[in-house]
Amino acid sequence: MDIHHTWKSVDEMLSYLPQRWQDYARGDGRMRAALAPPSSHVFTLLDAVGSRLDSMPEVGPPGSDHEMLRDQLFDRYTSDYRGVMTFNIGAEAGHNNPYLSAALCTAANDWNIERWLPRDSRYYGCLLLPSNNIEAAVAEIHRVGNHPRMVGVLFPINPMGRPFGDPLFHPIYEAALEYDLSLDLHVNSADSVSVRSGVGTPGSYVEHSIRLSDPAMHYLSSFIVNGVFEKFPDLKVLVKEYGTTWLPHMIWKLDQSYDVLRMESPWVKKRPWEYIHSNIKFSTQPLEVSKDAESKWVDLMTTIDGIEDVLCFSSDYPHYQFDHPLEIARMLPDTWVEKIMYKNSCDLFGWPVPEAGTTPVTEKV
């Protein structure tokens, strides 16, 4: 899952905008530079940098060529491989103009439904939502949330300065549940500027990548403190690309603070790990391991009983951090492989479990 597809050109997506926004976008070109929020991510400085070298098609950026994506990721495996298409992260959702943000999300969703999902029965989608326009986000869920290939709602950026457990966002979760859609939180290069501002904006990729997990930890605690899973016990949350090694620390700290949590929040009825185990899943990508430390990652994760129930394989195609299914499966304990490689995702999205021998861990040769 977590496959980053995109349009061949900005014009391809802009054609789905209402005419007034098309005129605005194509007026003098200045609006195009403002489509994405400010970012310190060095890979945004050059087109296509940050992607696999073999994923660059003759026309368009990586992830825009359906045949190449299908051949490199889907048809390479003798499997019932299904993938969740999550745009090229989706910075359009966080434009500072909340009305333009809503229009861009609607255009992106229509583009996805018309130009990508019909091409292959293995393609599933997430609704890109304007997380800075709650009313528009709810309306977008009601507009196309019943599409048979939609499995989630995507929050790729948080421009509101409020953690996602905040009651401000609860109308979105209520609407998502009406259509049995998961809530997908995805890291972004401009994610949670307010979290970083206290110590300064990172000036290099290493500084940026080390801080990726900070917003996720805040989101996680806010879901629990605000009683999101007591109010919406069937809500499923998928946390994508924020890493994994911070999880044991976060779970230990939350459980250690259980008594204080219950004093501060009357909605906390269970231990934090119980809520996480029942309602939240995390993408494996990126695994913060080097080749000589794979067993240490497993040792760390096994300090939490049942951690294998909340991890889901993700490829992050076509980015350079792409995780090969065989490599991830190889480093997992044998008893974890089926759960992490496909069973946990099937449980999350309500998909049938593939038959033995047709999983994403077998590659054509």
Helix (H) or strand (E) holding 83: strand 83-85
Q: Is 224 helix (H, G, I), strand (E, B) or coil?
A: helix
pLDDT of residue 39: 40
Q: b vs e for 5-29, b when ≥16 Cβ sit within 10 Å of the residue's Cβ? A: bbbeeeeebbebbeeebbebbeeee
Asked if 187 and 240 count as a contact pair (C-beta separation under 8 A), the reply is yes
Respond yes or no on whether the N-terminal peptide bond of residue 233 is cis (omega within 30° of 0): no
pLDDT of residue 126: 95
Instruction: Extract the tokens encoding 120.
Output: 């292959």
- Comparing 243 with 151, the larger pLDDT belongs to 151
- Comparing 22 with 228, the larger pLDDT belongs to 228
Which pTM was predicted?
A: 0.89
- Shortest CA distance to 281 belongs to which of 141, 87, 151, 149? 151
What are the two backbone dihedrals, phi and then psi, of residue 361, each rounded to the nearest 5 degrees? -100, 10
> pLDDT band for position 204 (50/70/90)?
confident
Q: What is the pLDDT of residues 118-136, one digit of tens each?
A: 999 999 999 999 988 999 9
**Close Cβ partners of 83 (under 8 Å, ≥ 6 residues apart):** 1, 3, 73, 74, 122, 123, 124, 315
Of 13-27, 35-49, 106-120, minimum mean pLDDT range: 35-49
pLDDT at 235 over 70: yes
Of 132-136, 158-162, 334-338, minimum mean pLDDT range: 158-162
Portion of the chain with pLDDT greater than 70, in percent: 86
Q: What is the pLDDT of residues 312-329, one digit of tens each?
A: 999 889 887 888 888 888
Across the chain, how many H-helices and E-strands are there? Answer: 18, 7
Mean pLDDT, the chain, whole residue set: 85
> pLDDT band for position 365 (50/70/90)?
very low
pLDDT of residue 51: 83
Helices (H), 280-333: 294-301, 325-331
Please provide the size of the chain in residues.
365
Q: What is the pLDDT of residues 95-117, one digit of tens each?
A: 778 898 899 999 999 999 999 99
